[in-house]
Amino acid sequence: MNNILRIGRIELRVMDLEQSAKYYRNVIGLEETARDSDRVYLKAWDEYDHHSIILKKADAPGMDHMAFKVKHSYDLEALERKVEQFGCKTWRISRGSRIAEGEAIRFEIPTGHEVELYSDIEFVGTGTGFTNPDPWPDHLRGIAPHRLDHALLTGDDIETVTRFFTEVLGFRQTEKIITVDGEQMLGSFLAITNTAHDLAFVKGPDNKFHHAGFHVDNWYEVLKAADILSKNKINIEVTPTRHGITRGQTVYFFDPSGNRNEAFASGYITYADFPTITWTEDQIGTGIFYHRRELVESFSKALT
């Protein structure tokens, strides 16, 4: 038992910090909780920790790191040893390196991405509170997702990164994509909670970011998200549709720096004994876009 609770945050590199902050506040509908000269910190309305999204000023887009929240601070040292035993380089991020955060362990996973584990972050609560709360707060803006839901990354060695997350960090593989002959894994969907996925990898260049998914309630909210995006003249990559993989409902679009976002609804519940679902490469179009049954070209090429 590693006591990893859930996905905690993603730090995204953006080229125009103020333009990006405006987009994530007004179009996505996140709440800005703090900022300094190089970063803006944001959270969704139903999240209670200080932030789940960090925007970092940079010369090129992409993901700086993603992080998972651990139940106890004393779990970090044991996890650090397990990560190092697998062969991954680790280092410590000291308390106060970023606003509202305590110490974290940072490491490079087999696909070249940097990941952190942490337990200490400032608790700020939600707009509804925790005593006799209403279903939602007043004055929501934009898409207004409940939370950061998942991330999809790309890398060359899907088998090894899957082993790392399952054997070292205790994730479960909910779905996988394999070649028709079954000899190679092309995609891996991983969960540490009871969702269909908290993190996923598809075969592609190492250390690239595909998208961050934000959870909305239902199909209507996905359609509403598309209306909001069009109203704000945001580049929509894929209009509302369904995934075969995860059974989720989705719309894909891009932030001002070119980082892909997703409004994601539904999907199934998983348990500790959930059997891994297998998709073969010849059915990948249906797996990703169930209605059109084929990929759009940009989906595998537009990476940051």
Q: Which residues are catalytic?
A: 150, 197, 211, 243, 252, 262
H or E segment to which residue 297 belongs: helix 297-301
190 neighbors 173 (Cβ within 8 angstroms): yes
H or E segment to which residue 28 belongs: none
Query: How far separated are the first and last CA of the chain, in Å rounded?
Result: 34
DSSP string covering 233-292: T--EEEEEEE-SSTTEEEEEEE-TTS-EEEEEEE-----TTPPPEEEEGGGHHHHH-TTT
Q: Residue 165 has which token pair?
A: 């997350």
Strand partners, 68: 7, 117
203 neighbors 187 (Cβ within 8 angstroms): yes
Please compute, for residue 183, the number of CA atoms within 13 A of its CA located in the half-sphere on the CB side: 1
Task: Name residues whose C-beta falls within 8 Å of residue 74's C-beta, 6 or more positions apart in sequence.
Answer: none
Among residues 150, 27, 49, which one has the least CA distance to residue 99?
A: 49
